[in-house]
Amino acid sequence: MGISGIDEYNRKIKRILITKEEIDEALDKAASQINALYDGRPVLLVSILKGAFVFMADICRRVTVPCEIGFMCAKSYYSGTVSAGAVKITMDLEQDVSCYHVVIIEDIVDTGRTLSDVVKLLKGRSPASLTVITLLDKPSRRVVDFTPDTALFTIPDCFVIGYGLDCGEYYRNLPYIAEYNEEGN
């Protein structure tokens, strides 16, 4: 991405869209829904790397049903902020999902390609059940027909960073979600 220094890095953070407090509140609600839905039954939380690693870490610590965690790596991005189209699974899940209630933990549904492919793949392996929870949903950007079961926040069509989401691998560590400033060189 070629950031020249800390001033440019900071200028690229245009405005905070969702604060840490708003995220925490939504996490509490989402975890309560998982706990109520599975009602003591074991689940497998599956996070899509890298973007969902922070969301996974925070939600799994609020889940009170017995839970295992698993990771997949799906690459769909990009050059800068523009989607390249194809989705590639670069690291598969180690668990055999046929004996699990699977909960997919994703950072954002944008075009919908990644989750549409991942869901097809995992459903083909006959899990006991499968639910999709995404932190963010950008429905205006959809190019394939895909609707997550739960979205914590619906956002407008803008490129966002923070709380696991990156631009050029930076900003994943911000504790909030911010709009990325394409112009801030």
Q: Which of 31, 44, 107, 112 binds Mg ion (CB under 5 A)?
A: 107
Residue 181 token pair: 């400033």
Shortest distance (Å) from residue 34 CB to ligand IMP? 20
Q: Are 166 and 172 in contact (CB under 8 A)?
A: yes
What is Dmax (Cα atoms) for the chain?
51
The three-class DSSP label of residue 17 is strand
| Residue number, 12 or 113, with CB nearest to ligand IMP | 113
CB atoms within 10 A of CB 22: 15
Q: Is 110 a catalytic residue?
A: yes
Shortest distance (Å) from residue 156 CB to ligand IMP? 11
Shortest distance (Å) from residue 107 CB to Mg ion? 4
Shortest distance (Å) from residue 42 CB to ligand IMP? 26
Q: State phi, psi for 169 to the nearest 5 degrees.
A: 75, -5
The CA angle 150-20-47, to the nearest 5 degrees, is 45
> Residue 177: which of ligand IMP, Mg ion, none does it interact with, CB under 5 to 8 A by kind?
none
| Residue number, 63 or 115, with CB nearest to Mg ion | 115
CB atoms within 10 A of CB 128: 14
Contact flags string 11-50 toward Mg ion, x per CB under 5 A: -------------------------------------x--
How far is the CA of 164 from the CAs of 2, 51, 54, 144, in angstroms? 20, 5, 5, 24
Host H or E run for residue 123:
helix 113-123
Binding site for ligand IMP (CB under 6 A): 51, 76-77, 83, 106-114, 159-160, 165
Residue 109, strand partner residues: 137
> Is 110 one of the binding residues for Mg ion (CB under 5 A)?
no
| Residue number, 76 or 131, with CB nearest to ligand IMP | 76
Q: Are 118 and 146 in contact (CB under 8 A)?
A: no
Choice among 107, 110, 117, 137 that is catalytic = 110
| Residue number, 38 or 148, with CB nearest to Mg ion | 148
Q: List active site positions.
A: 110
Which residues form the interface with Mg ion (CB under 5 A)?
48, 51, 107
